[in-house]
Structure 1
Amino acid sequence: MLGMKSYLGWKIDFLHPAGEPAFAGPDSVSWRVFKNPIALGVGGIAAVLLEFADARIRSGVWDHSTFKTDPVGRSRRTGIAAMVGVYGPQSAARRVIQGVTNMHAKVSGTTPSGEAYRALDVDLLDWVSATAGWGFLTAYDRFVKPVSDADKTRFYAEGDAVARLYGVQHPLTCEADFQAMLDTLLPRFEPHPINTEFLDIMKSGRAARGVPKGLQSAIVHAAVAILPTDVRTRLELGPEYDLSPRGERAVGFMGALAEKIPLPGSPPAQAAVRLGLPSTFLWKHADAQARLLKDVPRPAVASIAT
């Protein structure tokens, strides 16, 4: 079927069925944030660091996934799962999320210190969901465009339905929720060689073929830069990970550029077409977007599809 693609083992069609809504609509903050690859790169790396800070998650990922043998592929699968939750037809999103949940149901073990864990433990699901949402939004806000407090609240509300499909019981509703969760977990956080190994892989150029190695290094440093100070201190990510003024300008320039250059064939472009909009919809000026949305049936453009 035209539009059907295999994304690292998942067959997902962002073009069909025509008109089927996603869990977030084209007028959502989520569609705006997730279309930007710089925000996703910076936010995704920050999210992994926040997750790996907890030995239970670090052990679960390291011992039960392909992360240590194929970190790039595993990271991309995580990214595609996020994309289908934002842009995919709801039927496809439910199928992929159920598949991920089925895999997680088989993951359990003990940390090196002897603490038992299960991937479906509620506090772990809540934290993984929180780190992803917070990471992508914070990266977009800092390196692409400022996001208002009202839009931040909208962003978290838009992710509620998908988070609950994953089994999350306490999805973020605001920045204060993230801080409260962080305050609870922070005493557990610890430095570990896996963290620096992960960062070295991300800086090596393996994560995005064709992207200059210098830019990839800047993206890694940008991810460390958005971490809460107390987290960075706990993880012992010292001045060698500081983001230089030149690096900050480079990441900001690329983030702004990515806002303007359409990516034909990408999930956000195909999702727009599925809902009767031009493939370039998300890269157009806000005024033009508003005019286009007037001609689209309201169920398709609702920020949270029912």
Structure 2
Amino acid sequence: MSESDPGLFGPDSITWRVHREPIVSVGGLRSLYLQALHPRAVAGVEQNSRYRQDPWGRLARTSTYVTTVIYGTTEEAERAGRRVRAIHSRMTAVDRRTGERFRVDEPELLRWVHITEVESFLTAARRGGLRLTAAEADAYYAEQTRTAALVGLDPATVPDSVAAVEDYYAEMLPSLELTVDSAATGLFLTVPPLPYGLGLTPVRGFSLGVSALAIGLLPGWARRLYGLPPLPGADGLTSMNTLFLGRLLRSVPIEWIQSPARKRAMERLGLRN
């Protein structure tokens, strides 16, 4: 593999522009709230993952996967995808509503996780101040069909534009609901255990603030499924806070907070921040 291999996307892609925004991390948390509303998706996680025992380790592994796929070489991205496919291929779970056992790598579940993730990244970046045209937003979804292929999806079955994603959510809505697993997961995401005794420090307040922001960024239908009452002015406050946080994080020198994968990509391609 050439040392100048840009990977699946490269520095001129919309994907690199979106993921340069530090606030996409809030989008990642938002996607977990959305994913938990699919009964089978959340059951698959609850019955196969040790995220409750090691939430920060799981977060680190997920972040490493995402940044490897975005910034790694083509070979590195494909290897990461093969590893995820191999893990998923061995996993099954039981639908608590019907008693039916299912595979966690069913296309419907993979597609749900993929769309909620990329839509959340894009939403957080745009509402955090990243200016993209409608065509550029569509291009982001089109580019992200490459990451969908890595986990085993046929790219032709993956929504690849803003309109297609909106239609997809409308199509999925009747099959979404708040289950016991969903509620437990949502509570865990909102008040996760903090390491090193930080739960008794101001860090807990910051953590709650990030969770509240992620919840505020959810679509109205998702907040309703969680049973959250509409609050007058809440959307405006969320927009203001997201924009403020996005601009604040953007003022931090990128070399201070960039992922190791991005740093290696910049060096590999001979680029400067």
Could you say whether these structures have the same fold, taking a TM-score greater than 0.5 normalized by the shorter chain as the test?
A: yes
Aligned to 1:101: 85
**Does 2:187 align with 1:193?**
no
Contact 1:94/1:165 (CA < 8 Å) preserved in 2? yes
3-state SS of paired residue (1:263): helix
State the Cα deviation string for residues 139-171 of structure 1 (Å, max 9, x = none). Answer: 111123232211101111211222112112322
State the Cα deviation string for residues 255-290 of structure 1 (Å, max 9, x = none). Answer: 223334222563223212211111x1xxxxxxxxxx
Distance in 1, Cα, partners of 2:9 & 2:77:
11
Shift of residue 121, structure 1, vs aligned partner: 0.5
Shift of residue 252, structure 1, vs aligned partner: 2.6
Aligned to 2:249: 258
For 1:119, the aligned partner's letter is: V
Shift of residue 76, structure 1, vs aligned partner: 2.5
3-state SS of paired residue (2:23): helix
3-state SS of paired residue (1:157): helix
Report matched runs for 1:59-74 at 5 Å: 59-74=43-58
State the Cα deviation string for residues 43-87 of structure 1 (Å, max 9, x = none). Answer: 111111111101111011111012121222212322221111111
Tell me the TM-score normalized by structure 2.
0.85
Distance in 2, Cα, partners of 1:139 & 1:218:
15
For 2:43, the aligned partner's letter is: S
Contact 1:215/1:250 (CA < 8 Å) preserved in 2? no
State the Cα deviation string for residues 85-113 of structure 1 (Å, max 9, x = none). Answer: 11111111111110011000011121221
Distance in 2, Cα, partners of 1:254 & 1:226:
13
2:266 aligned to which of 269, 272, 283? 272
Aligned to 1:298: none
Which residues of structure 1 form unaligned runs of 5+?
1-15, 281-306
Contact 1:189/1:235 (CA < 8 Å) preserved in 2? no
1:85 aligned to which of 44, 59, 69? 69
State the Cα deviation string for residues 102-142 of structure 1 (Å, max 9, x = none). Answer: 00001112122124321110111111111111000011111
1:175 aligned to which of 156, 162, 166? 162
Shift of residue 175, structure 1, vs aligned partner: 1.6
Distance in 2, Cα, partners of 1:213 & 1:17:
45
Shift of residue 17, structure 1, vs aligned partner: 6.0
Computed over aligned residues only, the root mean square deviation of the Cα atoms, in angstroms, reads: 2.7
Tell me the TM-score normalized by structure 1.
0.76
Aligned to 1:233: 224
Shift of residue 248, structure 1, vs aligned partner: 5.2
For 1:199, the aligned partner's letter is: L
Distance in 2, Cα, partners of 1:72 & 1:104:
20
Aligned to 1:111: 95
1:224 aligned to which of 203, 209, 215? 215
2:9 aligned to which of 7, 24, 27? 24
Percent identical: 28
Distance in 2, Cα, partners of 1:174 & 1:87:
22
For 1:162, the aligned partner's letter is: T
Distance in 2, Cα, partners of 1:117 & 1:46:
25
Aligned to 2:117: 132
3-state SS of paired residue (2:70): helix
Contact 1:145/1:256 (CA < 8 Å) preserved in 2? no
Deviates more, 1:221-230 or 1:184-193: 184-193
Which residues of structure 2 form unaligned runs of 5+?
none
3-state SS of paired residue (2:212): helix
**Does 2:138 align with 1:153?**
yes
C-alpha spacing 1:244/1:126, structure 2 compared with 1 (3 Å): closer
How many aligned residue pairs are there? Answer: 260
More helix by share: 2
Contact 1:43/1:136 (CA < 8 Å) preserved in 2? yes
Distance in 1, Cα, partners of 2:236 & 2:59:
28
3-state SS of paired residue (1:159): helix
Aligned to 1:76: 60
